[in-house]
Chain A
Amino acid sequence: MALFSVEDLSVTFRRRGHTTTAVRGVSFAVDPGRTLALVGESGSGKSVSLLAATGLLPGRATVRGAARYRGTDLTRLSPSRLRRIRGRRIGFVFQDPLSNLHPLRTIGAQIGEAITAHERVGRAALRRRVLDLLGEVGIRDAGRRIDDYPNHFSGGMRQRAMIAMAIALNPDLIVADEPTTALDVTVQASILKLLRRLQESHGTALIFVSHDLAVVSEIADDVVVMRDGEVVETAPVERITTDPRHEYTRELLDAARRGAAPTRAPEVPAPPAAGKAPLLRATALHMTYRRPGRKGAVTALTDVSFDVREGEIVGLVGESGSGKSTIGRIVAGLARPTAGSVALRGEVCNEPGRGPVRLGRSLRTAIQVVFQDPYGSLNPRRTVAATLADPFVVNTDLPAAEIRARVEELVRRVELPASVLGRYPAQLSGGQRQRVAIARAVALRPSLVVADEPVSALDITTQAQIVALIRRLRAELGTSFLFISHDLGMVAGLCDRVVVLNRGRIVEQGPVGRVFDDPRDPCTRELLDSIPGRVARV
Chain B
Amino acid sequence: MIKHIAAHALRALATLLAVLVITFALTRIAYRNPAAVLAPRNATQETLDGITRALRLDEPWYLQLWHYLYRGPDIQGAPMGLFNWPPALGYSFRQQRPVTELILSKLPVTLSLALGALVIWMTLSILFGVAAARKPDSPLDRALSALSYAALSVPAFLTGILLSYFLYFTLSTYGIRWFPGSGYTGLTEDPLEWARHLALPWLTIAIAEIGVFQRVVRAAMLDVLGADYIRTARAKGVTERRVLFGHALSAALNPIITLGGLELAALMGGAIVTEQIFGLDGVGRLAVEAAAGGDFPVVIGTTILAAAIFVISTFAVDVITRLRDPAAG
Query: Are B324 and A293 within 8 A (Cβ)?
Result: no
Does chain B have a CB within 8 A of A73?
Answer: no
Chain A hits for B233, CB < 8 A: 102, 113
Query: Are B326 and A149 within 8 A (Cβ)?
Result: yes
**CB-CB contacts of A47-87 with B at 8 A, as 1s and 0s?**
00001001010110000000000000000000110011111
Size of the chain B interface, CB-CB below 8 angstroms: 27
Q: Bound state CA distance, A88 and B235, in angstroms?
A: 10
Q: Bound state CA distance, A117 and B231, in angstroms?
A: 14
Choice from B225, B227, B250, B328 contacting A99 with Cβ under 8 Å: B227
Which residues in window 303-329 of B have CB below 8 A to A? 324-329
Given contacts A56-B231, A100-B228, A104-B250, contact A87 B236 (CB under 8 A): yes
Q: Bound state CA distance, A403 and B302, in angstroms?
A: 58
Q: Shortest beta-carbon distance, A211 to chain B, in Å?
A: 18
Q: Bound state CA distance, A54 and B231, in angstroms?
A: 11
- 11 interchain pairs, CB-CB under 8 A: A83-B240, A84-B237, A86-B234, A87-B237, A94-B231, A100-B228, A102-B247, A149-B327, A151-B327, A152-B326, A293-B328
Query: Are A294 and B329 within 8 A (Cβ)?
Result: yes
Query: Are B240 and A117 within 8 A (Cβ)?
Result: no
Does chain B have a CB within 8 A of A103?
Answer: yes
A residues adjacent to B (C-beta < 8 A): 51, 54, 56, 58-59, 79-80, 83-88, 91-92, 94, 96, 99-105, 110, 113-114, 117-118, 149, 151-152, 162, 165, 291-294
Does chain A have a CB within 8 A of B11?
Answer: no
Chain A hits for B153, CB < 8 A: none
Chain A hits for B239, CB < 8 A: 80, 83, 117
Chain A hits for B329, CB < 8 A: 291-294
**Interface SS of chain B:** helix
Q: Bound state CA distance, A458 and B238, in angstroms?
A: 32
Q: Closest residue of chain A to B136, judged by CB?
A: A59
Does chain A have a CB within 8 A of B60?
Answer: no
Query: Are B240 and A92 within 8 A (Cβ)?
Result: no
Q: Bound state CA distance, A149 and B135, in angstroms?
A: 31
Q: Bound state CA distance, A151 and B229, in angstroms?
A: 14
Q: Shortest beta-carbon distance, B220 to chain A, in Å?
A: 14
B residues adjacent to A (C-beta < 8 A): 1, 135, 225-229, 231-240, 242, 247, 250-251, 324-329
Chain B hits for A79, CB < 8 A: 240
Chain A hits for B229, CB < 8 A: 99-103
Q: Bound state CA distance, A50 and B327, in angstroms?
A: 33
Query: Are A113 and B228 within 8 A (Cβ)?
Result: no
**Interface SS of chain A:** loop
Q: Shortest beta-carbon distance, A6 to chain B, in Å?
A: 17
Query: Are A113 and B234 within 8 A (Cβ)?
Result: no
Most buried by A among B237, B238, B240: B237
Q: Bound state CA distance, A114 and B234, in angstroms?
A: 10
Q: Bound state CA distance, A152 and B142, in angstroms?
A: 41
Query: Are A104 and B251 within 8 A (Cβ)?
Result: yes
Choice from B231, B238, B328 contacting A292 with Cβ under 8 Å: B328
Choice from A99, A105, A165 contacting B236 with Cβ under 8 Å: A165
Q: Closest residue of chain B to A148, judged by CB?
A: B326
Query: Are B234 and A56 within 8 A (Cβ)?
Result: yes
Most buried by B among A80, A92, A101: A92
Chain A hits for B231, CB < 8 A: 51, 56, 94, 100
Q: Bound state CA distance, A51 and B230, in angstroms?
A: 13
Choice from B1, B225, B236, B325 contacting A117 with Cβ under 8 Å: B236
Chain A hits for B250, CB < 8 A: 104-105
Q: Closest residue of chain A to B329, judged by CB?
A: A293
Most buried by B among A96, A104, A292: A104
Q: Closest residue of chain A to B327, judged by CB?
A: A151
Q: Shortest beta-carbon distance, A92 to chain B, in Å?
A: 4
Q: Bound state CA distance, A87 and B234, in angstroms?
A: 8
Q: Bound state CA distance, A436 and B235, in angstroms?
A: 36
Q: Bound state CA distance, A103 and B237, in angstroms?
A: 19
Q: Closest residue of chain B to A57, judged by CB?
A: B231
Query: Are A96 and B237 within 8 A (Cβ)?
Result: no
Q: Shortest beta-carbon distance, B239 to chain A, in Å?
A: 7
Q: Shortest beta-carbon distance, A11 to chain B, in Å?
A: 16
Q: Bound state CA distance, A314 and B247, in angstroms?
A: 44
Query: Are B326 and A94 within 8 A (Cβ)?
Result: no
Most buried by A among B234, B239, B250, B328: B234
Q: Closest residue of chain B to A118, judged by CB?
A: B237
Q: Closest residue of chain B to A58, judged by CB?
A: B226
Q: Bound state CA distance, A433 and B251, in angstroms?
A: 30
Given contacts A104-B324, A294-B329, contact A86 B226 (CB under 8 A): no
